[in-house]
């Protein structure tokens, strides 16, 4: 029995628990989430004059760790999460008898809650990935979740130490694998065994030690070749000597850091695919379109910086004379009706790169009304399997062979990445960015009601398949995986859930697997840099955007005139959808007369008119924003810019707001990471961001930014007002927070940090897959079976619907 429950039952709070349960039974809701539970308990404590603080009593502590309560008849099901990445489930009856519930019991209860439980019709399909992780190393301590590569390096080092002969033989065989376009790298046939390698390493170290440190490789390349060493060890005597010494140390006394350093130097990745298929992927005219924006920015910046890092790595490895040309391809969708963009071009070079490209592959013809136009990310599922087949052929043609790494983006991209990696036998990396299951409350429980609009049955199935198939998974934050002590992570939400009448997931993902790694994205420093760097700013851009933000009268682009443009600006920039919650920020501003007296609200938010939008959710938010402006009489106090900004303008617009000592507010109901937060902080804007999601790890509250609860409008307004008045009385305070925000980004969130880590991960997991001989075929066969039995039939049904649109 849970220690938390037992502590209550063994104390004089037993009757309090009984009274609380009586009040819970009177609640109209049959399914209470954590916020509902805490609010109800606070009312209970007020009514009975008790202290609701977490540590004030055993009952308060129990309530604090209870994530959900489900009512069924007179019984209550408590789902308790007393520690990260684990939960306990108990059924409490009116006489306080307690029964532990299995995962299957819980899922059946959830099905009964929505009247979707039919025991006489046989058991529902149970999806359980647990057995496939029984033979893999598993992290024990929850605080190490997301540090998969560190754990894996420790594990591999211990194996090298415990069985040196076998593992050193595997290491030797691994080094013999590597080539670039048929040219052998690292070691050649003159080294024929692990023992021979060890001897040759020592001889090479002795030889190179007598050379000048900066002697270029070409002057002694033939000498190394005679000893059995091909290019790949370094570009100078110093670099080659350092790499060989690291390998020598690794063979003699393996250590995790030594292993990571050595593997990260191996030239084994030259060609990378970044998969982002759903469309409107381009470098101009796509930002602000439905389903794009942040994703396009992220993937383009990642592609550019990966190419730069690959080129740097190749030169450092001494491959300069081999004319190595790393290539990065962004795989997206070709859209014939391109709406003035370049999305109808098959191949487009990424600006500012040598060999990074956007490759667009069309969906196969079916109904031209669908396949030649943009399709929402909720609707594209029927086309992805054939798209992957066609894309494989195109990629092999562009690379003149297979890529070395495939990186999926979002649910659709990750499914395509799995299909491609499976067919091409390539290392697969998943980056989810945001999982829709966490965004839409009870989306799995009521999936049938939402299916026509969102098709979650396919999306959630795709997520399960891709994340389990991936060799490694990148998240932007720790809590994206397993949440916080009082909130469940996005990946954790896939651990156990029901899709009533479709399937039960009893173990959807192993959270303690070393495949998870936290690698946050960076900021494009070419566009986003501190407002104080006046020498890098373009004066004409600054003046143009200053006018646009504060005074320009252009009804086609801007709604609202400011009565007093000199007031401190509160600024936000996002697409208009429910989750981004710009309407919530407008309402928060509308409810606060104090804020209105001191500040103006300026929003950059896509479209101004309903008829301009093709997205249902965006249209709803446009209507809502006008209603809020009218309800709170915000005329003269708000500016709404319906514009698409280039990255150049986007960076400068933050800086112009910073010139006016403004503040940036990110009011999302949930934010997986928050790239706009980094952009605002690096430009020098004091930033207030949602406490729900990734911003908790970006911002250190009250040090270099501030958390807000966007569902509590009065509290949010109070925090903003407190900051504004403090800056009014002490202008240096604004400067202090501004400076700390800039420092925070430069020390933790650059693309250089991101790409170095990503490539190190790819090499380590490639090494792990080779030497472990991990039995993944049974897992992949299971995933394929689920794909064909669950995903594919549903995709075919949707395809039939598309036929008549």
Last residue of a domain, which of 263, 285, 307? 263
Bridge-based pairing state of the strands 663-666 and 183-184: unpaired
- Chain Cα centroid distance, residue 156: 27
pLDDT at residue number 616: 82
Residues 468 and 504 both lie in one domain: yes
pLDDT-derived band of residue 773, with 50, 70 and 90 as boundaries?
A: low
Greatest CA separation found in the chain? 86
Residue 227, pLDDT > 80, answer yes
CA–CA separation, 352 vs 751, rounded Å?
Answer: 15
Does the residue 443 lie in any domain? yes
Residue 769, pLDDT > 80, answer yes
- Average pLDDT of the residues in 428-455: 91
Residue 301, pLDDT > 60, answer yes
Number of structural domains (the chain) is 4
- Average pLDDT of the residues in 425-447: 90
CATH number of the CATH domain containing 278: 3.40.50.2000
Do 734 and 724 contact (CB within 8 A), yes or no? no
Tokens of residue 82, six digits: 């007393």
Residues 222 and 306 both lie in one domain: no
Residues 241 and 291 both lie in one domain: no
Does the residue 115 lie in any domain? no
Residues 722 and 786 both lie in one domain: no
More confident residue, 644 or 196: 196
Does the residue 107 lie in any domain? no
pLDDT at residue number 136: 85
pLDDT-derived band of residue 293, with 50, 70 and 90 as boundaries?
A: low
**CA-CA-CA-CA torsion sign (29, 30, 31, 36):** positive
pLDDT at residue number 387: 97
Distance set, CA 659 to CA 652, 683, 726, 745 (Å) = 10, 10, 18, 19
Helix, coil or strand: residue 605: coil
Residue 100, pLDDT > 90, answer yes
- Report the range of poorest mean pLDDT among 1-10, 185-194, 307-316, 458-467: 1-10
Residues 639 and 759 both lie in one domain: no
Cβ neighbours, 10 Å, residue 132? 18
Residues 396 and 478 both lie in one domain: yes
Non-local (6+) Cβ contacts of 629 within 8 A are 560, 586, 590, 635, 638, 640
Which pLDDT tens digit goes with each residue over 595-624?
999 999 999 997 899 888 877 888 999 999
pLDDT at residue number 83: 87
- Report the range of poorest mean pLDDT among 165-169, 285-289, 360-364: 285-289
Which pLDDT tens digit goes with each residue over 570-601?
999 998 888 899 999 999 999 999 999 999 99
Does the residue 686 lie in any domain? yes
- Partners of residue 357 on adjacent β-strands: 329, 349
Does the residue 136 lie in any domain? no
Residue 793, pLDDT > 80, answer yes
Residues 282 and 248 both lie in one domain: no
Do 314 and 185 contact (CB within 8 A), yes or no? no
Does the residue 126 lie in any domain? no
Does the residue 360 lie in any domain? yes
Non-local (6+) Cβ contacts of 746 within 8 A are 682
CA–CA separation, 692 vs 708, rounded Å?
Answer: 9
CATH number of the CATH domain containing 20: 3.10.450.330
Phi, psi of 778 (to 5 degrees): -65, -40
CA–CA separation, 136 vs 132, rounded Å?
Answer: 8
Residues 420 and 397 both lie in one domain: yes
Last residue of a domain, which of 72, 101, 130? 101
Phi, psi of 101 (to 5 degrees): -110, 145
Residues 571 and 693 both lie in one domain: yes
Do 238 and 263 contact (CB within 8 A), yes or no? no
pLDDT at residue number 94: 86
Non-local (6+) Cβ contacts of 107 within 8 A are 496, 497, 498, 504, 506
Which pLDDT tens digit goes with each residue over 647-659?
899 999 999 999 9
Do 778 and 452 contact (CB within 8 A), yes or no? no
> Could you tell me which of 301, 274, 273 has the C-alpha nearest to residue 287?
301
- Average pLDDT of the residues in 696-702: 92
- Partners of residue 603 on adjacent β-strands: 572, 640
Mean pLDDT over each residue of the chain, to the nearest integer: 92
Residues 282 and 253 both lie in one domain: no
Does the residue 132 lie in any domain? no
State the DSSP string of 339-360: TTSSTT-SEEEPTT-SSEEEEE
State the DSSP string of 543-577: HHHHHHHHT---TTTEE---S-TTSEEEEEE--SS
CA–CA separation, 133 vs 650, rounded Å?
Answer: 45
pLDDT at residue number 54: 63
Please compute, for residue 333, the number of CA atoms within 13 A of its CA located in the half-sphere on the CB side: 30
Which pLDDT tens digit goes with each residue over 59-85?
999 999 999 999 998 899 999 998 899
- Partners of residue 487 on adjacent β-strands: 484
Last residue of a domain, which of 46, 81, 101? 101
CA–CA separation, 237 vs 229, rounded Å?
Answer: 13
pLDDT at residue number 774: 63
- Average pLDDT of the residues in 206-230: 96
Residues 648 and 739 both lie in one domain: yes
pLDDT at residue number 772: 79
Tokens of residue 503, six digits: 């399937």
pLDDT-derived band of residue 694, with 50, 70 and 90 as boundaries?
A: confident
> Could you tell me which of 315, 486, 257, 465 has the C-alpha nearest to residue 381?
465
What is the value of pTM for the model shown?
0.87
Residues 780 and 733 both lie in one domain: no
CATH number of the CATH domain containing 225: 1.20.120.1230
Domain that holds residue 406: 271-522+755-802
CA–CA separation, 680 vs 703, rounded Å?
Answer: 15
């Amino acid at each position: 029995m849970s220690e938390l429950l037992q502590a209550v039952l063994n104390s004089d709070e037993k009757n309090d628990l009984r009274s609380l349960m009586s009040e819970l039974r009177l609640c109209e809701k049959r399914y209470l989430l954590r916020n509902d539970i805490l609010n109800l308990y606070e009312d209970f404590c007020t009514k009975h004059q008790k202290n609701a603080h977490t540590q004030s009593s055993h009952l308060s502590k129990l309530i604090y760790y209870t994530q959900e309560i489900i009512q069924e008849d007179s019984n209550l099901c408590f789902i308790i999460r007393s520690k990260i990445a684990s939960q306990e489930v108990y059924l409490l009856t009116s006489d306080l008898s307690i029964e532990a519930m299995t995962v299957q019991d819980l899922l059946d209860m959830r099905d009964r809650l929505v009247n979707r439980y039919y025991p006489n019709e046989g058991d529902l399909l149970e999806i359980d990935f647990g057995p496939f992780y029984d033979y893999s190393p598993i992290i024990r301590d929850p605080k190490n979740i997301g540090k998969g590569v560190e754990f894996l390096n420790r594990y591999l080092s211990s194996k090298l130490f415990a069985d040196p002969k076998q593992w050193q033989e595997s290491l030797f065989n691994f080094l013999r694998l590597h080539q670039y376009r048929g040219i052998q790298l690292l070691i050649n046939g003159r080294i024929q065994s692990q023992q021979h390698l060890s001897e040759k390493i020592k001889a090479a170290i002795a030889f190179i030690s007598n050379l000048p440190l900066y002697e270029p490789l070409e002057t002694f390349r033939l000498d190394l070749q005679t000893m059995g060493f091909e290019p790949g060890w370094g570009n100078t005597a110093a670099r080659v000597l350092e790499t060989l010494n690291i390998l020598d140390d690794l063979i003699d006394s393996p250590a995790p850091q030594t292993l990571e350093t050595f593997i990260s130097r191996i030239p084994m990745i030259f060609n990378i695919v970044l998969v982002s298929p759903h469309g409107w992927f381009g470098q101009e005219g796509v930002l602000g379109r439905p389903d794009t924006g942040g994703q396009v920015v992220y993937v383009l910046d990642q592609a550019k910086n990966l190419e730069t890092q690959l080129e740097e790595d190749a030169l450092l490895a001494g491959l300069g004379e081999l004319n190595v040309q790393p290539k990065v391809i962004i795989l997206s969708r070709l859209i014939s009706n391109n709406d003035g963009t370049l999305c109808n071009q098959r191949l487009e070079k990424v600006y500012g790169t040598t060999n990074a490209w956007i490759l667009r592959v069309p969906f196969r013809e079916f109904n031209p009304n669908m396949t030649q136009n943009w399709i929402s990310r909720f609707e594209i599922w029927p086309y992805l399997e054939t798209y992957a087949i066609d894309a494989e052929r195109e990629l092999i043609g562009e690379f003149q062979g297979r890529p070395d790494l495939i990186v999926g983006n979002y649910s659709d991209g990750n499914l395509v990445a799995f299909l491609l990696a499976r067919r091409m036998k390539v290392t697969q990396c998943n980056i989810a960015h945001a999982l829709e299951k966490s965004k839409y409350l009870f989306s799995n429980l009521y999936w049938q009601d939402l299916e026509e609009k969102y098709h979650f049955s396919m999306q959630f199935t795709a997520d399960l398949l891709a994340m389990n198939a991936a060799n490694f998974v990148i998240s932007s934050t720790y809590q994206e995986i397993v949440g916080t002590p009082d909130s469940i992570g996005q990946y954790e939400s896939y651990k156990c859930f029901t899709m009533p009448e479709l399937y039960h997931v009893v173990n959807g993902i192993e959270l303690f697997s070393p495949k998870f790694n936290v690698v946050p994205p960076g900021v494009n420093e070419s566009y986003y840099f501190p407002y104080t760097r006046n020498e890098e700013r373009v004066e004409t851009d600054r003046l143009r955007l200053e006018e646009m933000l504060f005074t320009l009268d252009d009804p086609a682009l801007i709604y609202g005139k400011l009565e007093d443009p000199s007031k401190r600006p509160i600024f936000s920039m996002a697409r208009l959808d429910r989750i981004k919650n710009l309407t919530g920020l407008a309402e928060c501003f509308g409810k606060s007369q104090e804020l209105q007296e001191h500040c103006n609200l300026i929003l950059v938010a896509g479209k101004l008119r309903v008829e301009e939008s093709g997205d249902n959710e965006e249209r709803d938010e446009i209507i809502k924003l006008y209603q809020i402006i009218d309800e709170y009489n915000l005329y003269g106090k708000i500016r709404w810019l319906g514009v698409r900004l280039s990255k150049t303008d986007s960076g400068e617009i933050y800086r112009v707001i910073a010139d006016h000592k403004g503040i940036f507010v990110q009011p999302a109901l949930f934010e997986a990471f928050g790239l706009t937060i980094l952009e605002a902080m690096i430009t020098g804007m004091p930033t207030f961001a949602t406490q729900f999601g990734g911003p908790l790890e970006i911002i250190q509250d009250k040090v270099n930014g501030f958390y807000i609860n966007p569902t509590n409008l009065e509290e949010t307004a109070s925090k903003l007002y407190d900051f504004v008045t403090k800056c009014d009385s002490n202008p240096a305070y604004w400067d202090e927070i501004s400076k700390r925000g800039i420092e925070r980004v430069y020390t933790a969130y650059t693309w250089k940090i991101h790409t170095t880590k990503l490539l190190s991960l790819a090499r380590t997991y490639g090494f792990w897959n080779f030497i472990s001989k991990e039995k993944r075929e049974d897992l992949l066969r299971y995933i394929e079976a689920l794909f064909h039995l669950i995903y594919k039939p549903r995709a075919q049904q949707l395809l039939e619907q598309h036929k008549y649109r």
